A and B are shown apart, each in its own frame.
Chain A
Amino acid sequence: MKQTHIMTTPILSIRNLTVDIPTRHGVLRPVNGVSYDVAAGEILGVVGESGAGKSMAGNAVIGLLNPPAHIASGEILLNGQRIDTLPRDEMRRLRGKQIGVVFQDPLTSLNPLLRIGDQLTETMLAHLDISPSEARKRAIAALEEVGIPGAAQRVDSYPHEFSGGMRQRVVIALALCAEPSLIIADEPTTALDVSVQAQIIALLKRLCRERGTAVMLITHDMGVIAEAADRVAVMYAGQLAEIGPVREVLAAPIHPYTDGLMGSTPLASRGKDRLHQIPGAMPRLDALPPGCAFHPRCPYTQDDCRADPGPRIEDGAGRAACFHPISRTEVA
């Protein structure tokens, strides 16, 4: 099993990240004081219901928050260097070069009018000091690596000439072509056929392991987390609910929300199921309850949960943001 407590500087380190969206009716906070690290060669799975702020946190890291959303406080460090304060053009240089991105829908991620080879070479030429012919050679090699058959010919094809799964392989090649140290994959398999989802995850996992790339893998799919991730971060209403090694969190969640997501059945029997349904809905950002944001849905709520300040994961060793975590020894 992979070592989970790596002592060297993590590739990505998010410290108390808060993202605000000012609106006419007040400030929304889709990401609220989130902290986590991703080490080299490690895959951190990020899960949570729709609207939990998973994508927003990813977008903050790559510096592509859509205004008026912006980082209100906290720090983002890449290889120990702060990147959230970088000027626009330096941040641009970092994207693609240091941080690769894979989006959800491969059908819309590729420019339909440009050959995939051209999209690969333009990315490399933007970041690497190489000649166009060298870039083309590397483009073909990159396509081979992600498992595109006949890469030398396919390099001149247009996106529509590939299936969805093949296109996502192309997108992965694009994300990795300048050899970034971090990959942010935002639901990379959600839009794909079930039959190719596992292949894509396996590919992503293999390439990142080989290169020691850190991965932030955002997904709804517990199967994907169990299969690929080393650690998992569970988000709820913009906050981190629980974080820890994947085996521990999935097998014995201590936050009631994570427990709800897992349902009561053993993980193996649910296979690639989506997250378990929890009664009620996640509160809207403009109507967050006081105290623990999960308390209206939590079966373990006590009086202290309803009062501010709500529970937080203590920096460093903490695992769950909960005043009354489930004690596994009692339950089991």
Chain B
Amino acid sequence: MLAYTLQRIFQSAIVLLVVGLVAFSMFRFVGDPVDNMLGQERTIEDVERLRGQLGLDQPFVVQYFRFLEGAVQGNFGVSYRQGRPVAEILLERAPATLELAAVSGFLAIGFGIALGVFTAIRRSGFAANAIMTVSLIGVSLPTFLIGILLIYLFSVELGWLPSFGRGETVKIGNWSTGFLTESGLKALILPAITLGLYQMTLIMRLVRSEMLEVLRQDYIRFARARGLRERAVNFRHALKNTLVPVITVTGLQLGSIIAFAIITETVFQWPGVGLLFINAIQFVDIPVMAAYLMLISVMFVGINLIVDMLYFAIDPRLRADRTGAH
């Protein structure tokens, strides 16, 4: 198990190095930051001095190395547009995205599993079929359209919920949270649904098909033959086995929740890192773009790592194979 963990961490590091290379390459190949930072009126000396300051006159490998060195320490340079350290800007924006992603993920996993189990157990019932049909819509509508529809219905027509922003936030240390105010919570609802709906339907459909598969297994039949209650058969025996394959996919889905947040944050003008990234693209603010890319990949890789460990926790067969018990 330890060897496996180390191996996975090593793999993760490789992935991050490659992403780092991509992020870094943007500095060289996308736009020219010096052009952006200095206006029309500039001298050759100005350009040279700024290049020197930004380290753009160094060889590629040296620059990459320095970029990595900085990145590991959380130093992504200075935003071309805002003139402030990127890390500072990201830290400011991260809580908004993380809170949104956490609520969406929670909704997606909670409802996804519950509805998946329900539609599997009651597979021929009316309610289950209705849910399955509606879920098809959830999978096929693009995120921004769902967001706009929700805004139209709940903000414009009914006026129940705000259509943009985070509402009031409360600062706890460096973390600004929207969980503690009514307007903050209200503001979370629509974006969280928009962001989580697609993942929820995916998880639900996956749980359903896995559960139906598991319910056909011999050990379920044997559990029934032993006279266990239907509840024990469904939840103790079937659900646990369903979750093994579901966990992997769910982990990936959570990663993409954070990535997909870009669209939702744009639709709802949610002041998170996704919106920051979109704005950064408009201004070719490479350090912010690069840092965003790194941040997202660290989260992806981190979630995957956790998912792999969860896999171990839930499936004893993996534990034994790796530790060498027969």
Contact = CB atoms under 8 A, between A and B. Distances in A.
A137 to B, nearest CB: 19
B244 A93 contact: no
Contacts of A158: 316-317, 320
A175 B224 CA distance: 12
Contacts of B326: 161
Given A101-B222, A113-B241, A113-B314, A160 B227 contact: no
A220 interface: no
B315 interface: yes
B157 interface: no
A112 B222 contact: no
Nearest to B228: A126
Interface stretch (B86-94, B232-240, B294-302): B232-240
B42 interface: no
B153 to A, nearest CB: 42
A171 B325 CA distance: 22
Contacts of B60: none
Contacts of B225: 62, 64, 95-96, 101, 103
A288 interface: no
B222 A109 contact: yes
Contacts of A108: 217-219
Contact of A113 (B227, B229, B316, B320): B316
A171 B320 CA distance: 21
A171 B222 CA distance: 9
A252 interface: no
Contacts of A114: 236-237, 240
B102 interface: no
Contacts of B317: 112, 158, 160
* Contact-size category for A: 20 to 34
Interface of B, secondary structure class, is helix
B152 to A, nearest CB: 45
B318 to A, nearest CB: 10
A105 interface: yes
A226 interface: no
Contacts of A92: 224, 227, 229-230
Given A95-B225, A103-B221, A111 B232 contact: no
Residue in B217, B222, B237, B244 whose Cβ sees the most chain A Cβ within 10 Å: B222
A127 B227 contact: yes
A92 B230 CA distance: 9
Contacts of B227: 92-97, 123, 126-127, 178
A259 interface: no
A64 B317 CA distance: 29
A157 to B, nearest CB: 9
Interface residues of B, number: 26
A110 interface: yes
A160 B228 CA distance: 22
Interface string B219-262: 10111111111101000110011001000000000000000000
A97 B225 CA distance: 10
Interface in A100-127: 101, 103, 105, 108-114, 122-123, 126-127
Contacts, number: 80
A189 to B, nearest CB: 16
A122 B228 contact: yes
Contacts of A109: 218-219, 222
Contacts of B325: 161
Interface string B302-326: 0000000000001111001000011
B137 to A, nearest CB: 31
Contacts of A78: none
B207 to A, nearest CB: 16
A110 B326 CA distance: 18
Contacts of B316: 112-113, 158, 160
A63 to B, nearest CB: 9
A243 B227 CA distance: 30
Contacts of A103: 218, 221-222, 225
A111 B217 CA distance: 9
A102 to B, nearest CB: 9
Contact of B218 (A95, A105, A174): A105
Contacts of A97: 227
A111 B320 contact: no
Interface string B191-222: 00000000000000000000000000111011
Interface in A64-117: 64, 92-97, 101, 103, 105, 108-114
A110 B232 contact: no
A96 B228 contact: yes
A123 B233 CA distance: 11
Given A109-B219, A111-B237, A113-B244, A95 B226 contact: yes
Nearest to B218: A108
Given A113-B240, A161-B326, A101 B226 contact: yes
B244 A111 contact: no
A186 to B, nearest CB: 10
Contacts of B237: 111, 114
Given A112-B241, A161-B320, A126 B314 contact: no
A171 B219 CA distance: 10
Interface of A: 62, 64, 92-97, 101, 103, 105, 108-114, 122-123, 126-127, 158, 160-161, 171, 174-175, 178
Given A123-B228, A158-B320, 12 more contacts: A64-B221, A64-B224, A92-B230, A108-B218, A110-B222, A112-B241, A113-B315, A114-B236, A122-B232, A127-B227, A161-B320, A171-B222
11 contacts: A64-B224, A93-B227, A95-B226, A101-B226, A103-B222, A103-B225, A110-B222, A112-B219, A113-B315, A126-B227, A161-B320
Interface of B: 217-219, 221-230, 232, 236-237, 240-241, 244, 314-317, 320, 325-326
